[in-house]
Structure 1
Amino acid sequence: MLTDSSRAADFPTLKGIHYLNTAAESIPPLCVNEAVAEYMHHKSMGMRGRDFHFPRVEACREIAARHLGLATDEVSFCSCSSEAYNLLASALQLTPKNEVVVTDLDFPAGATPWLTAPESSRPVTRLWKNRNGSLDLTDLAALLNERTALVQVSLVSFYNGHRIPFAPLRDLIRKHAPQAVLAVDVTQALGRIALDCQDADILISSTHKWTLGIHGGGIIGIPKKSAARLTTTAGGWYHISNAFDADRFENPRIKSGALSFSVGMPSFAALYALNASLRYLEQVGMAQIIAHADPLVARVHAGLKELGITALSAAQPDCTSGIVAFTHANTTAINDALLAQNIHVMHQVGRIRIAVHGYNTEEDVDKLLATLRSVLGG
């Protein structure tokens, strides 16, 4: 991942391309392919395969907890981040008397459960708007009050890579809305940057981006201090401690906190993959990944500045992320030129998003900037 030889061995599909789109889809290392193949081998054993499936879930829980900085029993899994947020909504049981704060840099999964709730139970949603690509805590303070029941943020924005300074955010919320749940989406952070948000009430992540896993998984972390009030009321069976006991119809008992978010049969294939990918990242070393990738991000910022392009979120020396994005009138032409050079970024009309992970190289960034200079005449 960090050398030419390890990159070639672990990511053979990167040969001949410059892949800068991990914020949308990662390229899994070969060990993930092998883990999914192992799942299929175990699945082909029928019921006997479960002797392997469930221990693998627990192994994945253990490594996921280490990456999140939480205890093993504070971490669980569901099918995706969208499911996790809907389960959070069922746990909170908000009403029109409650208020929710979301940001305009957040992914829709973290905002829509509150916006689409039935009118009779829909909380008041307040929008924390960005200023020139950044979220100003002064603006948040004006939105907080005793009715604030939830503040939902992304540690790193999917849209432009803005990273929220967590400690000042936490302190502000605890001061002005001490009863509010602080929910943090770490999808664009986990596996790429050092997490500093373990003091949030709930952490949520998908599994197919910077963690180098595949689709079908959602990670939930809920510290014990928040477990009682963040226990879902959704139906299911895997999260019921007495699901097959004689009293299950009279008194079903839901497991507390994060464990309540695993309502049904685990998505074993996704968790085999996640177990392998997180262990791969741990073996490479998160500190090494950060030390390798952050200077490449800084090079992208510097190169865009030389071209007269203003990134949607300014470079943050002490608060880095893996994402750089910009807008331009000719993004379709830019993207076509990049693809002609086998450079892969995220393109939406009007916006280009670049994502740099540990498997990226100086050559990837140099090729990107050279192509941009060619297209834009810089």
Structure 2
Amino acid sequence: MLTPESRRRDFPSLEGRAYLNTAAEGIPPPAVAAALAQYAADKELGMDGRVRHAAEWDAVRRLTAEFYGLTADEIGVCSCSSEAYNLAALALRAKPGDEVVVNDLDFPAGATPWLQPDSPAAAKVWRNRGGALRVEDLVPLLGPRTRLVTVSLVSFFNGFAVRLPEVVAAVRKHSPALLAVDVTQALGRVPLDLTGADLIVSSTHKWILASHGGGLVGVPAARAADWTVPAGGWFHLEDAFGPNRFEAAVSKPGAASFAVGMPNYPAVYAVRAALEYLRGVGVEAIDRHARPLTLHCLEEVRKLPVELLTPAEPEHVAGILAFKHPRAAELHATLHAAGVHVMSHAGRLRVAVHGYNTADDLERFLRELRAAL
């Protein structure tokens, strides 16, 4: 991933293009395709294949635990981050008078379960200032009725990276709330220290370079009772097929309760291969390579006639930068035609820098963007 030779070997589809859109879709290495092929071969064994499926499931839980700083027993796998948050809303068992704090830099998955008309909890919005979520703006929203604070470690919108220890300290000091942290835009790209998070969620098709169809859930053992999902199903139940199965349904505690049905084993195989690949490269090595590229690009974009959405404070920058322009759609089309892939939405352009990106990719983007402007 970090050398010309390994890039050509592991990411041949990147030849001739500057792909800067990992925040939307990661490019999987060949090991992921091989894992999906292995799933197909194992599936052809019928029920005998389930032993192999279970081994992959266990491997994914162990690998995810390494990245999250937890144990395998504290990891669950569902189908996507949206499902994880909807199941979390069930587990929270909010009542009228409860409050949940969301923020305006978050992806909808983490915020919208508590914005539905039938949600009993009142949602408060932690609003950004200048593209940054300031802890001093969170504190007034916290109180004795706050049940949950949910935040992304890195914002999908503009790449702002929160200082998690500061958020944890504020939540603990000013409320009894649980803290949910979405690491979708961080996992596989930056080293993680998730100390103090009560619920950890990530999707699987972005920076970890796996497939769609996975949601990686972490629940520290001390919070298992707080995050036990009271949902129907079978895979997550203590005894789904026992003699009393039609008298009561008891969920396994904590992370295991988020796997409510038959696992999406193709995604499990893909995630195992992708996490093993990233572990082999090393997230610290990826960050050492990609961070200077991101900061250089941010500094150069600041000089252009665009509205920068990403705060220019290096300590709050991870792998994403974003800016607005009245002709964003036109700029996007021009860049794409020149082989430069970024994301465009509602007047916003977003650039994502991963370990397979190079200085040449960023210079190509900047050169084409200047010309288009």
TM interval, shorter chain, is over 0.9
Q: Distance in 2 between matches of 1:292 and 1:342?
A: 22
Residues 69-89 of structure 1, C-alpha deviation per residue, up to 9 Å, x if partnerless? 111100010000111011001
Aligned to 2:122: 124
Q: Distance in 2 between matches of 1:324 and 1:288?
A: 20
Contact 2:68 2:193 in 1 (8 A): no
State which of 177, 181, 186 in structure 2 corresponds to 1:180.
Answer: 177
Deviation at 1:250, TM superposition (A): 2.8
Aligned to 1:302: 299
1:48-59 mapped onto 2 (5 Å cutoff): 48-59=48-59
Aligned to 1:349: 346
Residues 127-181 of structure 1, C-alpha deviation per residue, up to 9 Å, x if partnerless? 111001001111111111100011011110000000111001100010000x211
Q: Distance in 1 between matches of 2:223 and 2:318?
A: 27
Aligned to 2:211: 214
Aligned to 1:101: 101
Aligned to 2:15: 15
1:220-239 mapped onto 2 (5 Å cutoff): 220-239=217-236
Aligned to 1:155: 153
TM-score by length of 1: 0.97
Aligned to 2:188: 191
Deviation at 1:40, TM superposition (A): 0.7
Deviation at 1:205, TM superposition (A): 0.6
Structure 1 stretches lacking a partner, 5+ long: none
Structure 2 stretches lacking a partner, 5+ long: none
Deviation at 1:243, TM superposition (A): 1.2
Residue 200 (str. 1) matches residue 187 (str. 2): no
Q: Distance in 1 between matches of 2:30 and 2:316?
A: 31
Aligned to 1:256: 253
Deviation at 1:308, TM superposition (A): 4.2
RMSD: 1.1
1:255-334 mapped onto 2 (5 Å cutoff): 255-334=252-331
Q: Distance in 2 between matches of 1:285 and 1:316?
A: 25
**Aligned AA for 2:33?**
N
SS in 1 for 2:185: coil
Q: Distance in 2 between matches of 1:366 and 1:36?
A: 35
SS in 2 for 1:151: strand
Q: Give % identity.
A: 50
Contact 1:68 1:198 in 2 (8 A): no
Q: Distance in 2 between matches of 1:366 and 1:276?
A: 31
Residue 243 (str. 1) matches residue 264 (str. 2): no
1:68-87 mapped onto 2 (5 Å cutoff): 68-87=68-87
Which aligned segments of 4 or more residues in structure 1 are displaced greater than 4 angstroms? none
Aligned residues: 373
Deviation at 1:361, TM superposition (A): 0.5
Deviation at 1:196, TM superposition (A): 1.9
- Is the deviation greater in 191-200 or in 292-301? 191-200
**Aligned AA for 1:149?**
R
**Aligned AA for 2:120?**
R
Aligned to 1:169: 167
State which of 364, 367, 376 in structure 1 corresponds to 2:361.
Answer: 364
Q: Distance in 2 between matches of 1:320 and 1:160?
A: 9
TM-score by length of 2: 0.98
